[in-house]
Homo-oligomer: A and B are copies of this chain.
Amino acid sequence: MALGEAEADLAIINGSVVNVYTGEIEKASVLIKGERIAYVGKDADRAIGSKTQVINAAGKTLIPGFIDGHTHVDVLYSINELLRFAVQGGTTTIITESCTIATTLGYEGVIHFLNSVRRQPVKVFVTAPPMVTISPVTEENAIGVKELHHLFRYKEIIGLGEAYWGDVVGGNQRVLDLIAETIKLGGKVDGHSAGATGKKLQAYVSSGVSSCHEPTNAEEVLAPIKDSGIPLNRLAMSTDGVGPEQLVKDGYMEVLVQKAIDLGFDPVLAVQMTTINVAQHFALDDVIGGIAPGKYADIVILPDLKIIKAEYVISNGRVVAQDGRALIPPRKHRYPQSLQNSIRLPNDFSANDFAIPVEGSRKEAKVRLMDQVTDLLVREEFVDMPVSNGELNIDVSKDILKVAAIERSFGTGKSFVGLIRGIGLKKGAIATSSVWDCGDLMAVGADENDMARAVNRVRELDGGTVVCASGKILAEIALPVAGEISTEPMEAIADKLERIQRAAKDLGAKSNDIRLTIAVLPTPAIPFLRICESGLFSLRENRFVDLIVG
């Protein structure tokens, strides 16, 4: 077709094409045959025939489709719902983690997840789950080298997901083996090095990890980087997951690109950081990331290079969205009923299940408290708490509440209850089956009866997040797939999550995102004191520690 011996299927003529390889912007037409670009240049007329679809892009700018190099599509919403929003904004490739689904459903869950991302209007690649967890029960679901080999047979698998630095530097042999094997298999190893500096960071990098998406937040990092004079061809922008509310209100990758431009970045550089730089990192630049012969025809037509608002989105040679409207609906994947039955709690809970028994006839006990000092960070604190009838009491007036981690994926019946300060609830409780890096159900509450009610409602829903007070459900969302993912439209999810946030605020919750605050309690990704069904875990000491210390 490039030779002019065949007709183009699609021709985008007269536009300005951003050449991400050289940084130049060139007047050119683009000819597409099937899924691929065959020609970019001025001599396009010869290949435009009667069956060629022609888009006149005069005055418009063509950029490659955006590539999100790191996100989490196995949390809250299904891939088809994400794609409704991602594609219309110009994203044509997504590289997603699969850790959340692996945590609760193991290897089988990852296979189903792979099936869900296949045959979509845009490309979706997946990183295999290293599954770093503090929970000995959840660890049972972790994959080893054998399963990794199996996963690499799927063409969607292009690497290993983020293995938090603590476990890698600490010498978790299973994870180190997965990293070494991934590199041997030609895959990339995603990193998460927040908090690692100096020799620890170097030890982490030595393992073979080749990226980090956690240096700090965008506003803090982009401005100094822009003026550093350092070549930025190894820097990429990714979402790391966008919440449903933000997706519905603002959009997806296009928001990042627009933000970078608004911060003063050269628009071409902003495009490079979301296209060719990502492709090159994953060694996918032979096929995606630029507008050039032989590459997949993944192209976004903008009104102007500084206005990141897609008029056309072309993926695999097809127009998949126009003027913010998806033309090809994403494929809905039906998860089998077995995966929608992941809340394995044999019985309903009652207030008694949240009791913290104290031995002897003491009136007071010294307790290791989870001290919620920011929306995410939990420090270790020691306080004296009253004991009555052989049970530890909470103190709502001092914002010291109960926090429970209930194993819900394996039917072990294990659970652990501790104390947490800084959540802010004056009454009621919140429970959720959607948590990070652990197959537990988490609950926090100012009232044990409400904690039981909330947990029982999550059980009824086959997974979800529930806010209740005085025995009444105030807000809820069902997350029936793996206890993590809703089957509803994104707008409904966003709406329900907003109601949950509002209901929690009304009960006194301090966090700007109480859902996230509770979800991250068991993750080893965020310091310092963590909780799971087996107890309190100190990341500093890398071991379980006692709740009652004196």
Contact = CB atoms under 8 A, between A and B. Distances in A.
Interface of A: 1-4, 21-24, 36-41, 43, 169, 183, 186, 188, 198-200, 202-203, 205-210, 230-231, 233-234, 280, 283, 286-287, 292-294
Contacts of A41: 198-199, 202
A201 B3 CA distance: 9
B206 A22 contact: no
26 contacts: A2-B200, A2-B206, A3-B203, A4-B199, A21-B234, A23-B230, A23-B231, A24-B230, A38-B203, A38-B206, A39-B199, A39-B202, A41-B198, A183-B286, A186-B186, A205-B292, A205-B293, A205-B294, A206-B293, A206-B294, A207-B294, A208-B286, A210-B286, A231-B231, A231-B233, A233-B233
A188 to B, nearest CB: 8
A21 B234 CA distance: 8
A22 B205 contact: no
Contacts of A198: 41, 43
A230 B292 contact: no
Contacts of A22: 230-231
Main secondary structure of the interface of A (DSSP, over half): loop
A293 B38 contact: no
Contacts of A188: 286
Contact of A202 (B38, B186, B234): B38
Contacts of A293: 202-203, 205-206
Most B CB contacts (10 A, CB to CB) among A40, A280, A287 go to A280
Most B CB contacts (10 A, CB to CB) among A169, A206, A208 go to A206
A403 B176 CA distance: 63
Contacts of A36: 206
Most B CB contacts (10 A, CB to CB) among A199, A207, A208, A292 go to A199
A280 B203 CA distance: 23
Nearest to A200: B3
A199 B24 CA distance: 20
A4 to B, nearest CB: 6
B233 A202 contact: no
Most B CB contacts (10 A, CB to CB) among A24, A39, A205 go to A205
A169 B3 contact: yes
Contacts of A39: 199, 202, 206
Contacts of A21: 234
A354 to B, nearest CB: 41
A293 B202 CA distance: 6
Contacts of A1: 203, 206
Contact of A2 (B186, B202, B294): B202
A199 B3 contact: yes
Contacts of A209: 294
Contacts of A23: 230-231
Given A208-B286, A292-B205, A199 B43 contact: yes
Contacts of A38: 202-203, 206
A200 B4 CA distance: 10
A188 B203 CA distance: 31
Contacts of A2: 199-200, 202-203, 206
Most B CB contacts (10 A, CB to CB) among A1, A36, A39, A203 go to A203
A9 to B, nearest CB: 14
Nearest to A22: B230
Contacts of A294: 205-209
A130 to B, nearest CB: 17
Contacts of A40: 202
Most B CB contacts (10 A, CB to CB) among A37, A286, A292 go to A286
Contacts of A206: 1-2, 36-39, 293-294
A547 B233 CA distance: 55
